[in-house]
Each structure stands twice: as structure tokens, then as C-alpha cells.
Amino acid sequence: MVVMKFGGTSLGNASRIRQVAGLIGRRNDCFVVCSAMSGVTNTLVDTAGYWKSGDHEQAGQLISGLRKHFEQTCYELFDDEEATTNAAGIVNDHFANVYNRLRSGYDLNNENWLLALGEIVTSEIIALYLNAINIPVTLLNALDFTVTGSDGEPSVEDMRQRIKALTGEKPAGRFLTQGYICLDHQGNVANLKRGGSDYTATLAGAALQAAIIEIWTDIDGVRNNDPRLVEDTFPIRELSFDEAAELAYFGAKILHPSCVWPASSNRIPIHLKNTMEPEAPGTIIRSGIQRKGITAVAAKEGITVIRIRSDRMLNAYGFLSRIFAIFEKYETPIDVVTTSEVSVSVTVDNDSHIGEIEKELTGLGKVRIESGQAIVCVVGDILEQHQDRAVRILDSLRHFNVKMISYGGSRNNITVVVPHEEIAGILSSLNSFLFGSPLKTNDTWLISQE
């Protein structure tokens, strides 16, 4: 069994969906995970925002636009009149429900229900299309098997049992389902956070003990730097699980931050492929990669730095645990930590409880909050052979306003925190320093790939 995940851009319009159908048709046994058509989840998020603020008119307008978009896709996709009518009927039924819900009051459960719509409608259209063109698929409802525990996380074993109940012990044939959406432990519709279809795919890959997990997107594999911000990036053909996890966690949007562990802990390779160029090699993420040099750079925006200063910290024990307990209480993960004798600085990317956290930290010391920051992370074998590698990387950043440095936590990562507006500059600068052509010839330790 092979897991194939198609992202929003791969399903962006009727001709892309046709292309994807061709790729699915090449496999006899596959478990296909679909995102929503591109832009749909963004529109749903905006709709929820208007709904929450009581602006029903704007919310209604966005929803009508989405309904038209789906209908239009159906008209362009299906040749057969009956199938077109069926598909348009599915869209209309779903949207009739949405209009009903919008009339009822906003609450978080209704919002999460709304956010799931993109994946549900997209997958139903695609399943109908595949069956109409004689590529038989069985549509599975992801809410029947992606269920999070009380910690908000899904478990591979739970998913395995639930999929088995739907497909039998040894599933064969083609299955198609939704990424991203799930039920929470109380049975409410929820999701695995933005970009979560990658996570559904790797969880399903682990649950099914798949031979490989293919993630089909709009670019030829993971690149050495963020292609949205930097020119002259190049694809990395092979990545270790650790490198991929670091890159995903620290901002490479191509992968959901949590999607590597289900594959790595089950040693299932992930193959990133380009739907627009299916024969291009893409990137393989697997175990057993020996790295010599720096692999890639990534950045994550929307970071808040929290600094806590207290003289009571001097020679005291248990201080850090009291600080971390506050973050645990508010279920806010910490990304980067630095400490000195009398102060601790941490970064978070989720600032939804920042007010409460600040208030409680004030009981421990003086607190300073800096929002609008970014994390930039260099991934590769930082320690290998060249003792001065980290120093040279940091030296190349001397013109930037580096606010925190994390080095030594693992041998394949060095992370700095900078103001958000410096991201593009710092990524470009690192690109020429680490991967630029003069250095490729003069300074072989900096060569990453190819």
C-alpha cells in the first residue's frame, strides 16, 4: 500500500484534478489523502472571522463565492451530464447546511465544522470524478479514523484500529479520504492545524505500514532555502528524518511541523513529488542519510520572545521548572530557550495565552515581551569536522539584529531569532554565504548538495 497526499495547489482547478486522477490511476493499491482545493481553507478561515465578529453579510458573501467556485469546478471537470448534476448536487447540499449553520450563532465547534468543509467537498468531488472515469475508489470519512486524544494529538495505533474496522485487516484497492480534519476526544469536529493534511498522510502511512508516503505538491521537492523569499534555491534530493523534522518545525512550509515523526518512527520513507512535473525526482526523506555539510535554511514568522529576569534565579534550583510549568498550564509550546545567570528567554509561536502567561511569569521576575520576531534555522551537519563552522555562520550574520542564538541542542541545527522584517535579508545572506558559487569552489565544507 502506498499513501499519496495531494495538496491544495495540486487540486487547484479542474485540469489539476484531472492530472491528479492520472497519477492515482497508475496505482492499484493506494490510500489517497486530499487537502481542500487551494485557497478554500483561507476563505473558510476568513469567513469564520466575519462570523465571529457578527458580520454575517461578509461571511455569507465569502461562502457564496466558494459555492460558485466548487460548482464551476464541477462543470469544468465532468464531461457527463448526469455526473455533473450529481457533483453540483453534492456541493449544493453541503452549502445549504452551511447557510443554515451561519444563521445559528458562532461558536468554536461551528467554526471547526466550517473549516472541515473544504476537505470534505473537495474529496467528494474527486471521488465522484475518479469513479466516473473508471478509476474506482472507496471514499472514507477521515472523521471515522482520525481522532485526537485528550492531549490534542492523534495516535497511530488508534488510527490503525479504526482504519482496520473500515477496510478490513489487509486493505487492497484504492481509498480516498480527507487530510487535516479530525474529531477531538469529545467527538467534536476539529483539525490538525494549518497544513495538517501532510500529518494525516504520514499518520495513515504509519497506521497502514505503507511502503512509502508520497506527498504531492507544487514544487520539485524540498529546497535548500525558502523559494518564496530567496532566488537561486535548489532541490535537496535526500534528507534524513531529523533534518526534515527540523526544517518542517522551523518553517519550511512544504511540510507540516509534526508530519515527520509518524514516518520516522516506523521507518517509512516520505517522497515529496511535484504534481506539475511527476517525473522530476523530488526529495526522498529516509533514514541512513550521511550528511557532509549544510543542508538547508528555513524561517518561521510570528514568533514572540518572552524574557524573564530575576535575581532570585542566581544559584537557585527549580526556577526553570516553575517557568516551564506556566507554559505547560497554558498548553503553549516553547521553541527556543536561552538562559543566563539571572534571566531566561524563550520563544513561542502561539500567542493566544500570552496575557495570562505574562501575568503568571510576573510572579517569578521581571517580564519583557517582544512580538513580531522570526526564527531562522540552519540545518545540516553543523559540527562535522569543522569546529569553526558555527562561528563562521554566526559571523556572517553580524549585520543583522540577532536577538537569540541556540546552538548545541543537536548537531544538526543552529537557530537564531531576528526581527520579522529581517527574514528575507537574512535568508538571502545565508544563501549566498552557505550555498553561493564562490564558496562552492573555495570552501568545500559549505557545499551542501549537488
Q: Is 221 in the site for Mg ion (CB under 5 A)?
A: no
Among 4, 7, 98, 393, binds ligand ADP (CB under 6 A): 7
Nearest distance in Å: CB 5, ligand ASP: 8
Q: Is 101 exposed, middle or buried (0-12, 13-18, 19+ CB in 10 A)?
A: middle
* Beta-ladder partners of 413: 379
Q: Is 282 in the site for ligand ADP (CB under 6 A)?
A: no
Residue 118 interface partner, choices Mg ion, ligand ADP, ligand ASP, none, CB cut-off 5-8 Å depending on type: ligand ASP
Looking only at residues 99 through 138 of this chain, which bind ligand ASP when binding is defined by CB under 6 A?
Answer: 118
Q: Is 180 in the site for ligand ASP (CB under 6 A)?
A: yes
Output DSSP code: residue 151. Answer: T
Residue with the CB atom nearest Mg ion in the bound state? 195
Q: What cell was used for 374?
A: 522570526
For residues 219 and 418, which CB has a smaller minimum distance to ligand ADP in the complex?
Answer: 219
For residues 8 and 257, which CB has a smaller minimum distance to ligand ASP in the complex?
Answer: 8
φ, ψ of residue 32 to 5 degrees: the values are -95, 130
Asked if 178 and 119 touch (Cβ cutoff 8 Å), the reply is yes
Among 27, 94, 253, 420, binds ligand ADP (CB under 6 A): 253
Nearest CA to 70 out of 58, 80, 82, 84 is that of: 84
Q: Which stretch binds Mg ion (CB under 5 A): 7-15, 115-123, 139-147, 286-294?
A: 7-15
Tally of CB atoms within 10 A around 58:
14
Q: Is 194 in the site for ligand ASP (CB under 6 A)?
A: yes
Residue 10 interface partner, choices ligand ASP, ligand ADP, Mg ion, none, CB cut-off 5-8 Å depending on type: ligand ADP
Q: How many residues belong to the site for ligand ADP (CB under 6 A)? A: 18
Q: Is 17 helix (H, G, I), strand (E, B) or coil?
A: helix
Distance CA 206, CA 416 (A): 33
Estimate the crossing angle of helix 56-77 against helix 81-103, to 10 degrees. 170
Asked if 275 and 10 touch (Cβ cutoff 8 Å), the reply is yes
Distance CA 287, CA 303 (A): 31
Residue 257 interface partner, choices ligand ASP, Mg ion, ligand ADP, none, CB cut-off 5-8 Å depending on type: none
For residues 9 and 84, which CB has a smaller minimum distance to ligand ADP in the complex?
Answer: 9
For residues 173 and 227, which CB has a smaller minimum distance to ligand ADP in the complex?
Answer: 227
Residue 227 interface partner, choices ligand ADP, ligand ASP, Mg ion, none, CB cut-off 5-8 Å depending on type: ligand ADP
Nearest distance in Å: CB 249, ligand ASP: 16
Asked if 127 and 187 touch (Cβ cutoff 8 Å), the reply is no
Estimate the crossing angle of helix 56-77 against helix 14-25, to 10 degrees. 50
For residues 162 and 253, which CB has a smaller minimum distance to ligand ADP in the complex?
Answer: 253
The number of helices, as runs of H, and strands, as runs of E, in the chain is 14, 16
Q: Is 196 in the site for ligand ASP (CB under 6 A)?
A: yes
Among 154, 195, 235, 251, binds Mg ion (CB under 5 A): 195
Q: Is 154 in the site for ligand ASP (CB under 6 A)?
A: no
Q: Is 41 in the site for ligand ASP (CB under 6 A)?
A: yes
Residue 179 interface partner, choices ligand ADP, Mg ion, ligand ASP, none, CB cut-off 5-8 Å depending on type: ligand ASP
Q: Which stretch binds ligand ASP (CB under 6 A): 12-20, 33-41, 126-134, 388-396?
A: 33-41
Q: Is 253 in the site for ligand ASP (CB under 6 A)?
A: no
Asked if 14 and 73 touch (Cβ cutoff 8 Å), the reply is yes
Residue 136's identity, in one-letter code, is P
Asked if 122 and 37 touch (Cβ cutoff 8 Å), the reply is yes
From residue 23 to residue 52, what is the string marking binding to ligand ADP with x (rule CB under 6 A)?
------------x-----------------
Among 178, 200, 217, 429, binds ligand ADP (CB under 6 A): 217
DSSP string of 83-143, one letter each residue? HHHHHHHHHHHHHHHHHHHHHSPP-HHHHHHHHHHHHHHHHHHHHHHHHHTT---EE--GG
Among 39, 60, 227, 281, binds ligand ADP (CB under 6 A): 227
Nearest CA to 237 out of 263, 269, 202, 272 is that of: 272
Nearest CA to 275 out of 7, 2, 1, 3 is that of: 7
Distance CA 136, CA 129 (A): 9
Nearest distance in Å: CB 257, Mg ion: 11
Positions touching ligand ADP (CB under 6 A) are 7-10, 35, 195, 217-219, 222-223, 226-228, 252-254, 298
Positions touching ligand ASP (CB under 6 A) are 7-8, 35-36, 41, 118, 179-180, 194-198
